[in-house]
Amino acid sequence: MPYVIGEDLPEAPAGARFRALLDRPGILRLPGAHTGMAALLAKGAGFEALYMSGAAMSANMGLPDLGMITVDDVCWYIRQVARASALPVLVDGDTGYGEALNVMHMVRAFEEAGAAAVHLEDQLLPKKCGHLNDKKLADPHDMAAKVAAARKARRHLYLIARTDAAASEGMDGAVARAKLYIEAGADAIFPEALVTAEMFREFARRMPGVKLLANMTEFGRTPFFTDREFEEMGYAMVIWPVSALRVANKAMEELYAAIGRDGGTHRMVDRMQTRAELYETIRYHEYEALDASLVRTVIPEGMPQREAEGAGR
Ligand SMILES: C[C@](O)(C(=O)O)[C@H](CC(=O)O)C(=O)O
Ligand SMILES: [Mg+2]
């Protein structure tokens, strides 16, 4: 946990660190982590980069994933995840919260908040989860203009263009859009809601030399594939966007039901992260020790110890 207590704060910009991970052999695994705590737990499990899902951030605010979340809402989430983990984070930028200038504002704001990468999608508002029906698509050239705007604004942010076109325009439409977005300056492509292994393979075959992202969301149109299977199909990144939120939500639902039913939490204790585990995860005692060490270092010479402690706090 590098924030405040750590001495291992990364020097390189987040986008450069994301690129370095992508340059290594093997698929880059990006589990969804929508809060600082989720980020610490994912990092503890060994993940080296994280994904921040618009669906999870919205749902965590009690809102549907229809593009109502704002740049500032998302920056608040990015800051906590980036500070807590210091890992490179890929952030869901939805449709860019407006047109070209809004996209440029988003890129700068996300970079300032600590993001490493963003994905931008070719839907119109109200945007939808890519695995639902009746999505309204943007004109491909309007989307390309947004990609070009993002490219112009970015300093280090890695830029992924997502196309939602497979359902309505078929594979040919999705590939044509992806090519246009690469020409406009995207670093990589996220083909959304492909439904068979053959579709994933075909898309990869038709986008040679382009880094691709696979979305392994549950309860969607994509059947379960493992990270290795996506890698073998030609994908450079995989996200599990909403999984942590889904598991946490289910656990909370059971907890509230238990309190209502049992009159207390006593039957749920063995399902809980203990106080010790919580403190270990957030390194509570290291913050305390840091505070104590700082108080000692400001004791002026000759001042009695008790007075000095009071003065230092
Ligand atoms: C990846 C995604 O954009 C997200 O916000 O996490 C969603 C995930 C989901 O709703 O399951 C998506 O549109 O696929
Ligand atoms: Mg999303």
Q: What is the ipTM of this complex?
A: 0.99
Which amino acid is located at 244 in the chain? A
Q: What is the pLDDT of residue 253?
A: 98
Q: What is the pLDDT of residue 9?
A: 85
Query: Of residues 17, 215, 227, 231, which has the active-site annotation?
Result: 215
Pocket of ligand 1 (CB under 6 A): 53-56, 65, 92, 129-131, 215, 217, 220, 241-242
Classify domain 14-242 at the CATH superfamily level: Phosphoenolpyruvate-binding domains (3.20.20.60)
Instruction: Give distance in angstroms: CA of 162 to centre of ligand 2.
Output: 10
| DSSP conformation letters of 214-275 | EE--TTSSSPP--HHHHHHTT-SEEEE-SHHHHHHHHHHHHHHHHHHHHSSSGGGGGGSPPH
Instruction: Give distance in angstroms: CA of 129 to centre of ligand 1.
Output: 5
pLDDT in tens, 75-113: 999 999 999 999 999 999 999 999 999 999 999 999 999
- Rounded Cα–Cα distance for residues 130 and 53 (Å): 12
For the chain, which residues make up each domain, given as ranges? 14-242, 250-293
Confidence class of residue 297 from pLDDT cuts 50, 70 and 90?
low
Asked about 94 being catalytic, the answer comes back as yes
Torsions phi, psi for 119 (to 5 deg): -120, 145
Q: What is the pLDDT of residue 312?
A: 44
pLDDT for residue 301 is more than 50: yes
pLDDT for residue 54 is more than 60: yes
Region 208-228: what's the mean pLDDT? Answer: 98
Nearest-CA residue for atom 13 of ligand 1: 129
Asked about 51 being catalytic, the answer comes back as yes
Region 284-309: what's the mean pLDDT? Answer: 76
pLDDT for residue 279 is more than 60: yes
Mutate which of 132, 195, 242, 247 for ligand 1? The one with the most ligand atoms within 8 Å of its CB, which is: 242
What's the pTM value of the predicted model, to 2 decimals? 0.94
| Nearest ligand for residue 131 CA | 1
pLDDT in tens, 232-277: 999 999 999 999 999 999 999 999 999 999 999 999 999 999 999 9
Region 144-164: what's the mean pLDDT? Answer: 98
Confidence class of residue 16 from pLDDT cuts 50, 70 and 90?
very high
Instruction: Give distance in angstroms: CA of 65 to centre of ligand 1.
Output: 8
